[in-house]
Every structure is written in C-alpha cells, then in structure tokens.
C-alpha cells in the first residue's frame, strides 16, 4: 500500500471505521445529544462539543493548506464557541464528518511527490502534517471517550 493510500485509509478509519486506537469519531458521537455534548464534565476542561469543533477546524485547515490556501489560525477559529440546541449540535457533528471525508478524498488525490513538500509557510511537510493530524485526532478522540465516561455514557 502506498503512503498516500495508507494516510487516506487512516483518516477514514479514525473518522468512520475500525481504527486501531479505539472507537471512531462517528461512534464516539453516536447517541450524544446537545445537552451531553455541551456539558462540562471536567471543571476547566473542554466539552465534547468544543472538541468536535476544534477537530473540525483542523481538518478544514489542513484541507485548505493542501489546496494552497494556508493561513494563520485565529484563536476563535481554533476553539470556536458551540451553538445551542439539537439542530446546532447535529450540524456541527455533520460538519466534522463531512470535513473529514473531504480531507480523506483530497489526500487520496495527492501525487506521491507532494508528500515531501513543505506545506505553506511551515517547515512541516505534507506527510508530517497529515501524520500530525492523525495523532491530534486520536488524542482528542481519547478525550471525548473519557468525557463520555465522566458523563456516565459508554464510549460505544
């Protein structure tokens, strides 16, 4: 399997499939309503909803950078404030899944030569950025799983 195919598969599994590290983001969000997603289970910590928005931001940012539209990420985009209500939660949850699928498709369309290229003004290569995003997503997925347990919910 090529590195591009491997990265694409890893992104897809972390989002929707059977990932090595544990439940996919789709499974972690299954059955969660806005009330639980917005509940601060750990004082001073993030909510599940905040984490979902943060994950979405970075999937979108990496996709933008792959398309040559890289820019700095403002603090309010890095950790945006959640909306209110079930419709807003569903929209944000769906946006995370859609942005992840769009990113996996963009990665699948990359030529192998792009993996070693720097991404934007960063010194990080495309490959390093994508591996970092996978690590970032696994880290926050673990937080979501722990927060679900703190709320008395099974991670799925």
Q: Which residue has the higher pLDDT, 91 or 68?
A: 91
How far apart (Å, rounded) are the C-alpha atoms in residues 137 and 133? 6
Residue 47 inside a domain? The answer is yes
- Structural domain containing residue 46: 3-150
Helix or strand run (H / E) with residue 147: helix 126-150
Q: What percent of the chain has pLDDT over 90?
A: 81
Residue 155 inside a domain? The answer is no
Domain count, the chain: 1
When pLDDT is cut at 50, 70 and 90, the band that residue 156 belongs to is low
Check whether 29 has a pLDDT greater than 80: yes
Q: What is the CATH number of the domain that holds 79?
A: 1.20.120.450
Q: What is the pLDDT of residues 79-134, one digit of tens each?
A: 999 999 999 999 999 999 999 999 999 999 999 999 999 987 777 999 999 999 99
Whole-structure pTM over 0.85, yes or no? yes
Which residues lie closer than 8 Å to 12 by C-beta, 6 or more apart? 100, 101, 104
When pLDDT is cut at 50, 70 and 90, the band that residue 41 belongs to is very high
Residue reference for tokens 């897809």: 12
Residue 156 inside a domain? The answer is no
Token readout for 150 is: 């703190």
Collapsing DSSP to helix, strand or coil, 19 comes out as strand
Token readout for 16 is: 């929707």
Collapsing DSSP to helix, strand or coil, 71 comes out as coil
Check whether 155 has a pLDDT greater than 80: no
- What's the pLDDT score for residue 80? 96
- What's the pLDDT score for residue 67? 93
Sign of the CA dihedral with 52 first, then 69, 120, and 6 last: positive
How far apart (Å, rounded) are the C-alpha atoms in residues 22 and 137? 12
């Amino acid at each position: 399997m090529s590195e591009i195919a491997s990265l694409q598969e890893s992104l897809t599994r972390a989002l929707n499939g059977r990932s090595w590290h544990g439940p996919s983001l789709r499974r972690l969000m299954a059955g969660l309503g806005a009330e639980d997603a917005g509940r601060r289970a750990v004082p001073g910590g993030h909510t599940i909803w905040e984490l979902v928005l943060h994950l979405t931001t970075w999937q979108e940012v990496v996709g933008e950078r792959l398309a040559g539209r890289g820019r700095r990420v403002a603090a309010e985009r890095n950790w945006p404030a959640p909306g209110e209500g079930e419709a807003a939660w569903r929209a944000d949850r769906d946006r995370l899944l859609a942005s992840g699928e769009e990113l996996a498709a963009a990665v699948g369309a990359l030529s192998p030569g792009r993996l070693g290229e720097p991404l934007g003004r960063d010194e990080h290569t495309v490959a390093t950025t994508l591996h970092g995003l996978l690590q970032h997503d696994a880290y926050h997925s673990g937080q979501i799983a722990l927060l679900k347990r703190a709320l008395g919910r099974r991670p799925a």
